[in-house]
Amino acid sequence: MSAFDTAALRRALGTFATGVTVLTVGGPRPHGMTANSFTSVSLDPPLILVCVGRGANMHRNLLGRARFGVSVLAADQQAVARHFANPARALGAAQFDAVDWHPGALTGVPLITGAAAGFECEVWRRYDGGDHTIFTARLLSMSRRDADGALLFFDGRFHAVRPERTEVTA
C-alpha cells in the first residue's frame, strides 16, 4: 500500500516540466499514444527509454512488437498531443486520419509530420516499473527539424515554449 496520496503525488510530480511525445506502432493495427515519460539513456549505443502504463493499449502493443516510433512534438502540435491522449478516439488506422504522418524510412512505423524530432526504435530491454513498464530501445533512425519551439507538459497542462529571438541591428 502506498504511503502517498496519489492525487497529491501526481500534482507534485507535475512540477517537473517534460517534453511531449507520441509513441507509435505500425503494422496491420497501428496505434499511437501521447507520452511524456521519454528520455535519452545512452549515446553509445544510442538508447532511449519510455515508460508505459500496464493498462494502456500501447503497453500490449509494445509487448507484441519489437519496433516503434517516437515523435517529439513541436510547440504548435498541442492538438496532436490531445488527439492521441483522447481515449474516445478511433482505434487502428482510423486514429491516424486526423493527423499528418509519414511512415518511418526503415520500419514503416507512423511518425508525426512536423514534429521537432522523430525516432525509429527497436525494443532492447524491459524493466518492471510498478504500474508501468520501462522500455529501453535502440535507435534505428532519427530525424530532426528546426522547430519553432517545443511542446511541454507542466502542472497538468500543455505549454508551448519558444526560443527567444534577438534582432541584430546595424
* Omega before 28 within 30 of 0, i.e. cis: no
Residues with pLDDT less than 70, the chain:
1-2, 166, 170
> How many CB atoms are located within 10 Å of the residue 18 CB?
16
Measured distance CA(84)–CA(20) in Å, rounded: 11
How wide is the angle at C-alpha 66 spanned by C-alphas 150 and 96, nearest 5°?
Answer: 50
pTM exceeding 0.75: yes
Q: Are β-strands 38-43 and 46-53 bridged in parallel, bridged antiparallel, or unpaired?
A: antiparallel
Give the number of C-alpha atoms closer than 13 A to the C-alpha of residue 99, restricted to the C-beta side: 30
pLDDT at residue 2 in the model: 61
pLDDT for 65: 86
The full length of the chain comes to 170
Q: What is the pLDDT of residue 1?
A: 45
Q: Are the CB atoms for 119 and 100 separated by under 8 Å?
A: no
Tell me how far apart the 2 most distant CA atoms of the chain are, in Å: 65
- For the structural domain made of 17-71+79-161, what CATH number should be given? 2.30.110.10
Question: What is the phi/psi pair of residue 64, to 5°?
Answer: -95, -10
Question: What's the pLDDT at 31?
Answer: 97
Residue 4's pLDDT is 78
Where are the chain's structural domains? 17-71+79-161
The CA-atom distances, in angstroms, between 126 and each of 84, 145, 169 are 23, 30, 53
The label of the residue with cell 481515449 reads 87
CA distance 62 to 42: 21
